[in-house]
Amino acid sequence: PGAAGAATAALDELERLARTQGPSGLRDLLT
């Protein structure tokens, strides 16, 4: 469950960043 929990937490964090920064902020993270 540790790895799955970490992956879920990472996805939640990405979602939160996408909401707060918008698509341009998310694109900056991915590149």
What would the pLDDT profile of 3-27 be if each residue is shown by its tens digit? 999 999 999 988 887 788 777 766 7
Question: For residue 25, what are the CA distances in angstroms to 6, 10, 13?
Answer: 22, 16, 13
Q: Where are the domains of the chain?
A: 1-31
Residues present in the chain in total: 31
pLDDT of residue 4: 92
Q: Which two tokens stand for residue 31?
A: 């590149």
Q: Which two tokens stand for residue 19?
A: 């909401």
